Chain A
């Protein structure tokens, strides 16, 4: 069965510092991986996704994530945090055995001035 684990329900970084949000998945077949962002009082919107090909994927707002099959990970990074990045981030997995999206519990990113 598929599952997604996001390490840390809350992550706090200083403005300008590196952002690293962790996501590990389990899937018995090649996965499709997604990161979403949710700003307060809004729906979830796609940041980036990995389907096939290049394992380093770039998304909106300067975020990127790298698919590492050997580590079953898809961590999200951004070199320099902005105050506007404060939001909740969700990792999700899908594969051809199950068209549903399986979601992680989410990580709230807090940006310190």
Chain B
């Protein structure tokens, strides 16, 4: 059983370039989350999908950030015109639909983005 996978693992971009980060969630997981983790900090929420619907994008820091999950499985986080402050690790997590039992999230290894 494969876990959550992310690609690329490392990405170096020049300031102003566009980047696309991919997340493959665990098969059958309905919920998918993106988080941003700055060096030495805890992850911060970016956006959330339930199947293909983006239900919460309140954490996206600017309109340069865009996420999609068109078929309710693979998701892509796109950052346009990257800035140095975008340098961080981008984590993807998936979970089964939340029930009264709670919501353990399964995290991928992350994509480390460095903007020069």
Do chains A and B stick together as partners? no
Interface residue ranges, B against A (CB under 8 Å): none
